[in-house]
Amino acid sequence: MVIEWGVHLSTGVAWQDREHKELLRRFNELVTAIDEGRGPEEVKRLFTFLDDYVVAHFHHEEQAMSRFSYPDMLVHLEEHTHFIDDLFRVKAGSQGSADDLAELIRKRLVSWILNHLGSTDKFLGAFLRERPGERGP
């Protein structure tokens, strides 16, 4: 269930790609812990570890969007909010069996990550690449 970073997910903006790799690293650590049947405390810790980074990363993208009055900002923000909500819901349901949790993650988080990084963030990246002086966070 791990998600490998690859050029299909690259936005071409160095800081965005760097942060996406870290986000996937944390996500993969979480799903590996679940797959290996590690205890609820460890799973909870890794959820928080991922959550913290998601919040920071979304904030960086939101700063870049508002700095350059990105025209699709609202839609982008809605997708971020949706993911934060889903992450919260999945974390809240993490007391169930490892199989149920893995299924929830696949249904709610994996497809969002692939769609958002591979499409919505790529559009933002293409926009930012045309903004001279954009250096990121």
Judged by the rule CB under 5 A, the positions of this chain that interact with Fe ion are: 61, 121
Query: What is the C-alpha to C-alpha distance for residues 29 and 35, in angstroms, rounded to an integer?
Result: 10
CB of 54 to Fe ion, least distance (A): 9
- Report, in Å, the least distance between residue 98 CB and Fe ion: 28
Q: Which is nearer to Fe ion, 101 or 117 (CB)?
A: 117
Nearest-CB residue for Fe ion: 121
Nearest CB to Fe ion, comparing residues 43 and 122: 122
Provide, rounded to whole angstroms, the least separation between the CB of residue 30 and Fe ion.
Answer: 17
The span from the CA of 113 to the CA of 97, in Å, is: 23
Question: Between 109 and 121, whose beta carbon lies closer to Fe ion?
Answer: 121
Q: Which two tokens stand for residue 38?
A: 């590690």
CB of 24 or CB of 34, closer to Fe ion = 24
Min separation Cβ 99 and Fe ion, Å: 29
**57: nearest Cα among 104, 33, 23, 90:** 23
Q: Could you tell me the CA-to-CA distances from 18 to 12, 44, 48, 87, 102 in Å, in that order?
A: 10, 25, 20, 21, 26
